[in-house]
Amino acid sequence: MSAPLRLMAVHAHPDDESSKGAATMARYASEGVEVLVATCTGGERGSILNPKMDRPEILADISEVRRQEMDRAREILGVRQRFLGFVDSGLPEDENEPLPEGCFALQPLEAAAAPLVAAVREFRPHVILTYDDDGGYPHPDHIMTNKVSVEAFEAAGDPDRYPGLGDPWQPLKLYYHMGFTRERFEALHAAMTERGIGSPYADWIARWEDRPQKWEVTTRVPCGDHFETRDLALLAHATQVDPDGFWFVCPRELQREVWPTEDYHLARSLVDTELPESDLFTGIHAGEVSRAV
């Protein structure tokens, strides 16, 4: 019997895994792929974004609460998850505001990447998902997540780098999340407007006028059948996600009809593939899998 395929998704905070690529992970997990979420920080500096959960006792223990939420979301998605042990950097209101001492975004790159390199060597993923070099949005932890993901992809297979962190393992493909594209939101906005459903996306689309898309979408993974699982995982992060908020404005059935994929940019590949793709594991055959071992 061949060994199972393995997928690792690297995220900055608990809840990011449920808002970016969750249906993709749920689909692959349901098909027998082993999936691991590596969460860089504990979300210790996160605010309570769901007004229904805005209570002093929750805020006082936000780190533990968010770990419990992560555990529920992980179970819903059918994946494994581990925290890499760094402290949330927070999102400064002013770009000139200094980040807290010791936070994830201020770590030297090798120190920040070391736990991820160790996780890659232990879990041995064939594919890694992460954010682009702008972090998807400019949160310092998201930007650092990109940096450590690229570093781990390039270093984990080199026996001379990061000695003592396990046997070398070379992942084969690295993808950036591309879920928040103008094209997708224009399609959803048009469909909602056509059906007389109030769309919240007009302001988002307007903000794209002066922001050309940096990375092209190379890979669209059909996963509409798992949008309900994605939404349940999002709702598990009750301090961060308002059930009456933005995430759930567009009806799920309309999303399945108009945009039934989650989308990615292939940033690195050590196997031959033909673009565009519809599968993160395109090009990874038995020969490549054994070569990565």
Which residues define the annotated binding site for Zn(2+)?
Answer: 13, 16, 142
- Cα–Cα distance for residue pair 236/81, rounded to 1 Å: 15
Place of tokens 């120190």: 111
Looking only at the bridges linking them, the beta strands covering 173-177 and 261-269 are antiparallel
Binding-site residue positions: 13, 16, 142
**Which of 180, 189, 218, 231 is closest to 76 using CA atoms?**
231
- CB neighbours of 14 closer than 8 A, spacing ≥ 6? 39, 42, 43, 66, 67, 69, 70, 73, 237
One-letter amino acid at 117 equals V
What is the sign, positive or negative, of the torsion defined by CA atoms of 10, 206, 266, 274? positive
Buried b (16+ CB within 10 A) or exposed e, 186-215: eebbebbeeeeeebebeebeeeeeeeeeeb
